[in-house]
Amino acid sequence: LLDLVGVGPQVASDLLIAAGSNPDRLKSEASFAALCGVSPVDASSGRQEHHRLNRGGDRQANAALYRIVIVRLRYHQPTIDYMERKLAEPRATRKGVIRCLKRYVAREIIGILRTPKQPTKKAA
């Protein structure tokens, strides 16, 4: 995790604690996003389809994802370009773009946590 842009020791530990000792128990990246509180919650009524912000989940993990996004918005050029491109769209807000980026980062992190570690060879 520490190889990712914006992930330091404190952020990595918060995310590892949220994922638990067995990240394979999470059925999908959407379940990890819900665990971190970055998944949209359906708030539709009738024919109007709306999603609102998920206020549940692990707040420390949500704050860790926020810190990653804020660091990336300052130092990671693809993230900066994405923010500029999205803000050029009508009705786009900085808060909404950060929400999308947190979901993207959550997807990236659960992918890393689920990849099997290569065993290191011990010297004889």
Contact in structure between 15 and 110 (CB atoms under 8 Å) = no
Distance from chain centroid for Cα 106: 2
User: Which residues lie across from 42 on neighbouring strands?
Assistant: 51
- Using alpha carbons only, give the angle 38, 65, 82 rounded to the nearest 5 degrees: 85
What does each C-alpha distance from 119 to 1, 100, 110, 115 come to in angstroms? 17, 35, 20, 12
Q: Which residue has the tokens 């970055």?
A: 38
- pTM reported for the whole predicted model: 0.83
pLDDT tens digit at each of 124 positions of the chain: 888 889 999 999 999 898 888 878 888 888 889 889 888 777 777 777 777 777 788 899 999 999 999 999 999 999 999 999 999 999 889 998 999 999 999 999 988 888 766 666 665 5
